[in-house]
Structure 1
Amino acid sequence: AGVTLRVLRMMRIFWVIKLARHFIGLQTLGLTLKRCYREMVMLLVFICVAMAIFSALSQLLEHGLDLETSNKDFASIPAACWWVIISMTTVGYGDMYPITMPGRILGGVCVVSGIVLLALPITFIYHSFVQCYHELKFRSARYSRSLSAEFLN
């Protein structure tokens, strides 16, 4: 019974998606995601490559070079990957942080590169969103004019 209830609750998402045909904002979002698919995939690839590079470097700089002053938070590459994700997105929980000077410099480079990596495609996606919004608004106005003309005739 619990699984059935969860599935039914999950089906509400499809109801919201079905409502999208009535709201221009959700239509614009869907059309923008379709048009910017390539840019979003490119963004994810760049972020994954940067995460792999920064994770390996941060683990090496914080844990691997000097065992006496090694940072226990960066004991593995997946743990360092967590720090890289949080740093690149500028969330900064503060649960992990570099303690060596090369690690801190790498942290600064990681944050700046994360900002740049996220900012570059977002401008294109924003431009596409505005363009899609105007197209859908124009279609909606044209459709309502045709309906009113039919009603008057």
Structure 2
Amino acid sequence: MFNISLGKIAFLSYDDDIVTFIVLRKKLFNIIEPAGNKFETPSLVFDKTVIILISINIISIILESFPQVNEQYESLFRLIEIISISFFTIEYLLRLLTSDLKYPASSRLRSLLYYVLTPMALIDLFAIIPFYIPFLFTIDLRFIRVLRLTRLLRILKINRYSNSLQLLGRVLNRAKEKLIVTMFVTFILMLFASTAMFYLETDKQPEAFPNIIASFWWAIATLTTVGYGDVYPITLWGKILAGIVALLGVGLVALPTGIISSGFIEEYESTLHISKSIKKARNGGNSNKSKVQRLLRTKRRKSNR
């Protein structure tokens, strides 16, 4: 009987540990996820801390480009980097630990893989991995300097806490097919323009238009209406072609702008409609709790796209 009692006690203790771990994981998930309202104090503090750290990192990266400032405050910049890396590494590990709460799947491994391959998770990873690479591999100093540029990716982490950037991301995601078609049409036009300009100008300007690939620079500058003036046609037919391409460029530049603008308006109106529906359902009392939860899930799915 004594052995059975000990076994029961051990089992209950183990069961309590599991429950405590699940509750703790849920609390951590609620903290590291963007705050849903102003009453979620721990989450708000975490969000503000991340934004402040990112801002400090960007300022330090800019100041490091000044040789005198970098030499004088090198130790301070190093301390900022260590603190930031430590914080962002812990954040990344916590997001891995709670990945199944954000992306439920048939197994923890599937949830983990799904999260790791999301754009924000990749940004989180690339924002910290350059710090650890020199400790794992012997690499050239010049390559380390290139890797340090990836610290700028930390600014993209703000997307997680900015409704405006999330809105823009959803707009681009919805309009991606139209934008791809626009880019393809633009490429075809640049190919025809650069090919035609090569045959029209190569005899008169062999250095400016030596081949079709080199002529692409002129086509890009003309289609985007930039017109740097370093390469330009001098023959009559070349000038006529350049005028036609420049006029077409005005329309092509305006096309993606119109697509994004219309998509932005549609997405904004959709988000505004959901927010108004949530507010209306909440004012309806307890009878509308299920509707509120359903609308909140819809809003959350839109934010995670």
For the aligned residues, what is the CA RMSD? 2.7
Structure 2 residue 225 is matched with structure 1 residue 90:
yes
Task: Give the length in aligned residue pairs.
Answer: 144
- Please list every run of 5 or more consecutive structure 2 residues that lacks an aligned counterpart in the other structure: 1-133, 135-140, 286-305
Structure 2 residue 205 is matched with structure 1 residue 71:
yes
CA distance in 2, matches of 1:7, 1:149: 54
Structure 2 residue 253 is matched with structure 1 residue 130:
no
Once the two structures are TM-superposed, the CA of residue 133 in structure 1 deviates from its matched residue by: 2.3
C-alpha change, 1:12 and 1:86, in structure 2 (3 Å) is closer
Query: In the alignment, which of 146, 152, 157 is matched to residue 18 of structure 1?
Result: 157
Higher relative contact order (CA 8 A, sep 6+): 1
Once the two structures are TM-superposed, the CA of residue 29 in structure 1 deviates from its matched residue by: 1.0
One-letter amino acid of the structure 2 residue matched with residue 115 of structure 1: V
Could you tell me which residue of structure 2 aligns to residue 37 of structure 1?
176
- Bigger Rg over Cα: 2
TM-score for both structures, normalised by structure 1: 0.79
Once the two structures are TM-superposed, the CA of residue 38 in structure 1 deviates from its matched residue by: 0.5
Q: Secondary structure of 2:199's partner?
A: helix
Query: In the alignment, which of 221, 243, 246 is matched to residue 108 of structure 1?
Result: 243
One-letter amino acid of the structure 2 residue matched with residue 123 of structure 1: G
C-alpha change, 1:21 and 1:84, in structure 2 (3 Å) is same
Once the two structures are TM-superposed, the CA of residue 55 in structure 1 deviates from its matched residue by: 0.6
- Please list every run of 5 or more consecutive structure 1 residues that lacks an aligned counterpart in the other structure: none
Percent of residue pairs identical: 29
C-alpha change, 1:135 and 1:5, in structure 2 (3 Å) is farther
CA distance in 1, matches of 2:144, 2:212: 39
Displaced runs of 4 or more, over 3 A: 1-9, 15-18, 137-150
Once the two structures are TM-superposed, the CA of residue 60 in structure 1 deviates from its matched residue by: 0.7
One-letter amino acid of the structure 1 residue matched with residue 174 of structure 2: R
Q: Secondary structure of 2:187's partner?
A: helix
- Does the CA contact (< 8 Å) of 1:24 and 1:133 recur in 2? no
